[in-house]
Chain A
């Protein structure tokens, strides 16, 4: 198929940036979206132009590195996939595809479609862990029983890949789904209880410092999340936050 691409080009963080049109031809429907971008880049390099910068790594939907806002949707039109798992069969010959970076004040553009998501790391530094040193004598893994329901729910929350689609999708650029997922994982496990109060207070505080917006329960994040992280995690975080605030 032949396509017109409208792609955000921005030299660096200080550049204003603009949309630029490109044409690609003979795109196979079996290609992944990023392979289509590879074709474009090879074409640009051959004609002496700068290739489009975009983040990507594992190309199997788990590392969370790829981003891209495609035709107004984080990770494009398919559901439950990252951009690297999106296939060209979702488009048709003659389509015009708009490709932008994930946009949020807390995710500044580094170049073209590459954004800086280190705010997510800093939120994790503020409390996204259980304080346990490595030693050869931690208690036996089966010493504390954990109900299957709790373990499964913790796992559902822990599948978050930290891609930032929730932030890019949210009209408020809120990171509540991301933070809620991490808070939930630990809140659901006995190991996470000891530090539960400080954790939720610190992580929410850091989230606010980074400039993420608040949640107004639109639910767009849940729909665009490639891993199907549930809104329930935001509710659980709010509950944890309230509990922690009361306890002080």
Chain B
């Protein structure tokens, strides 16, 4: 099947408006005869479910958590971008579009990104109307902060809990529709397959996670809003339950999976402390504005620090290697996320990691304490301040800026970051790749849509800070509700979709057999045993930097691990009860397939772009080297074993933006 992105013709800035004016609508009286399934209740799924229900469709919403409010969008800290230009600093739809395409290293689809920038302003209006308590200034107007390497202040925020507040906004909109009976909510339910009838997505098979019951749910369209697949690495900043299952199941039924190798690894996370670690915690990248990153120059000092014989504060300036400042004198500690992450890995691989696991570098605020402290001493007219006084004054400024992050760090690590440098290490936290969708957000299965992090379309090879929330809500509130109507306008005479059909029988049988197999296998190793092994292969060979040899090994190792999993996995309990191990086994089984496709995608993409860094393709100074001939989206078609997947290319044309080299000099 040839890929058709269905991008409308016409000038970029008119595409969306003209398109909306031309697509088919569904009469309000007919909407009540049409059912839509939405899988996932994060920003994308929650906002889509609420809006579709407001329009009059009958929505069935599914979440594996005990309430829609717990989806992992809730953990986003920093903010949400919108081209409001409230600060009068020259922001515009075009600038947000430009920044997003450039930040994505020219690997995203122009028309989709422009539409995202276009609807961004409406998101803020909508959320304020819902009662989202964004930060305000003393005049009562909305406040903005600047974020991640752009030249304007366009980020709206609610303390360090922007994701939480936006999700609670979408959840409240859902609650209103649940109360009206327009959304039927299925909490503690997990989608285990999509049902395709006559080539169209017509329902799902779901498991009730409390009773273990397998259920059939039919609809005229199915929307996948299940988030990203960062947990393929085992350790990530994703929630424990975040998984690829919904996306992977539709992939296996005909939806192409795009750019699986584009992963964002965030440089400022709290390092792993031991093998028991279950997840990683991110700290806002704004810390790099005031912290200097270093490791000791000498390996003897590293050893002494690890053994507790030496403290980092004992080392003189000459004994420290501020490696980012050394390698990137122009940008220093403020190089982009991917560069900062790779540089930390390089030092740690060379043996300079400063904690017991050897995977940590210092983020030191001492220089900031002194700089801010001296400034404050002048402002407050303190003559001849003592070094202690300067430090104290400086710490007060830093506390006002980052106090909550310092406190979070201290709770987890049990060290006071005001007295000793923080330790940080990069961690997986977002996946730009996902299910391939066209301009309508429809996958290659007619009637099956993918929105939010679950799709691939807007961030290219690298996502900018504060853009994930924007995309989730744009897709759910403002894009899908229009585009899905165009498709559903053909379904006004279809009537209720029956679940008593051979297609539902077959899908349910497949799901049941797989569950029974897992339960009856009675092997020797727990699910986590396999998940951790997979995570290690992914991190070592498909992580911050990749090479041909490693990727080829990864494909073989993951394939072998998958075989071992199906032979030897041990799932306790039964199928007909609350059984978290069983749910997890299904998710890990899917990760074991996705991981292989991921490695294959990374192997085939013989260039470096954004979050995908191939060691063979770098400039002399170790920068990512993009290749003109790879200016396309890799969309993979399922053909049995992941390594046999067939590649389809969607060429990317940039008509409104000049493709340039990213440079940090």
State whether these chains interact: yes
> Smallest CB-CB separation from B522: which chain A residue?
A48
Residues of B with C-beta under 8 A to A31? 274, 276
CB distance from A120 to the nearest CB of B (A): 7
Residues of B with C-beta under 8 A to A120? 67
Residues of B with C-beta under 8 A to A161? 164
User: Which interface class (under 10, 10 to 19, 20 to 34, 35 or more) fits B?
Assistant: 35 or more
CB distance from B273 to the nearest CB of A (A): 4
Residues of B with C-beta under 8 A to A77? none
Given known contacts A28-B274, A38-B276, A63-B239, A162 and B69 CB-to-CB distance under 8 angstroms: yes
CA of A114 to CA of B161, assembled, Å: 26
Is B396 in contact with chain A by the CB < 8 A criterion? no
CA of A141 to CA of B137, assembled, Å: 14
Contact: B142 with A141, CB < 8 Å? yes
Is B308 in contact with chain A by the CB < 8 A criterion? no
Contact: A129 with B54, CB < 8 Å? no
Identify A62's interface contact among B74, B277, B528, B577, CB under 8 A: B74
Is A42 in contact with chain B by the CB < 8 A criterion? yes
Is B401 in contact with chain A by the CB < 8 A criterion? no
Identify B141's interface contact among A110, A136, A142, A159, CB under 8 A: A142
Given known contacts A116-B66, A138-B122, A140-B125, A158 and B274 CB-to-CB distance under 8 angstroms: no
Contact: A158 with B581, CB < 8 Å? no
CB distance from A162 to the nearest CB of B (A): 6
Residues of B with C-beta under 8 A to A178? none
CA of A25 to CA of B137, assembled, Å: 52
Contact: B86 with A142, CB < 8 Å? yes
Is B178 in contact with chain A by the CB < 8 A criterion? yes
> Smallest CB-CB separation from A28: which chain B residue?
B274
Residues of B with C-beta under 8 A to A48? 572
Is B414 in contact with chain A by the CB < 8 A criterion? yes
Contact: B66 with A118, CB < 8 Å? yes
Contact: B136 with A141, CB < 8 Å? no
Contact: A51 with B411, CB < 8 Å? no
Give A100-146 interface residues, CB cut-off 8 Å to B: 110-111, 114, 116-118, 120-121, 124-126, 128-136, 138-142, 144-146
Most buried by B among A85, A120, A141, A192: A141
Is A18 in contact with chain B by the CB < 8 A criterion? no
Is B526 in contact with chain A by the CB < 8 A criterion? yes
Given known contacts A59-B240, A146-B136, A159-B164, A133 and B75 CB-to-CB distance under 8 angstroms: no
Given known contacts A155-B133, A186-B131, A142 and B142 CB-to-CB distance under 8 angstroms: yes
Residues of B with C-beta under 8 A to A58? 70, 72, 74-75, 239-240
Identify A134's interface contact among B70, B414, B477, CB under 8 A: B477
Contact: A134 with B47, CB < 8 Å? yes
User: Which interface class (under 10, 10 to 19, 20 to 34, 35 or more) fits A?
Assistant: 35 or more
Interface flags for A140-182 (1: CB within 8 Å of B; 0: not) read 1110111110011011001101100000000000000000000
CB distance from A178 to the nearest CB of B (A): 12
> Smallest CB-CB separation from B238: which chain A residue?
A58
CB distance from A187 to the nearest CB of B (A): 10
Most buried by B among A60, A114, A133: A60
Interface flags for A59-71 (1: CB within 8 Å of B; 0: not) read 1101111000000
Residues of B with C-beta under 8 A to A57? 65, 70, 72, 239-241
Is B179 in contact with chain A by the CB < 8 A criterion? yes
Identify B69's interface contact among A64, A110, A134, A152, CB under 8 A: A64
Contact: A51 with B67, CB < 8 Å? no
Is B140 in contact with chain A by the CB < 8 A criterion? yes
> Smallest CB-CB separation from B277: which chain A residue?
A35
CB distance from B340 to the nearest CB of A (A): 21
> Smallest CB-CB separation from A126: which chain B residue?
B179
Contact: A158 with B133, CB < 8 Å? yes
CB distance from B163 to the nearest CB of A (A): 8
CB distance from A175 to the nearest CB of B (A): 14
Contact: A51 with B125, CB < 8 Å? no
CA of A172 to CA of B299, assembled, Å: 60
CA of A85 to CA of B410, assembled, Å: 11
CB distance from A144 to the nearest CB of B (A): 8
Some 6 contacts from A to B, beta carbons below 8 A apart, are A28-B273, A125-B175, A133-B51, A136-B119, A148-B138, A158-B158
Which 10 A-B pairs rank lowest in CB-CB distance, beginning with the nearest?
A: A145-B140, A129-B172, A154-B133, A155-B133, A141-B128, A134-B51, A138-B125, A125-B179, A129-B176, A63-B70
Other A-B pairs, 16, CB within 8 Å; known A121-B187, A128-B175, A141-B134: A35-B276, A38-B528, A42-B526, A42-B528, A59-B279, A63-B75, A65-B65, A81-B411, A124-B171, A129-B173, A138-B125, A146-B140, A148-B136, A154-B131, A159-B161, A159-B164
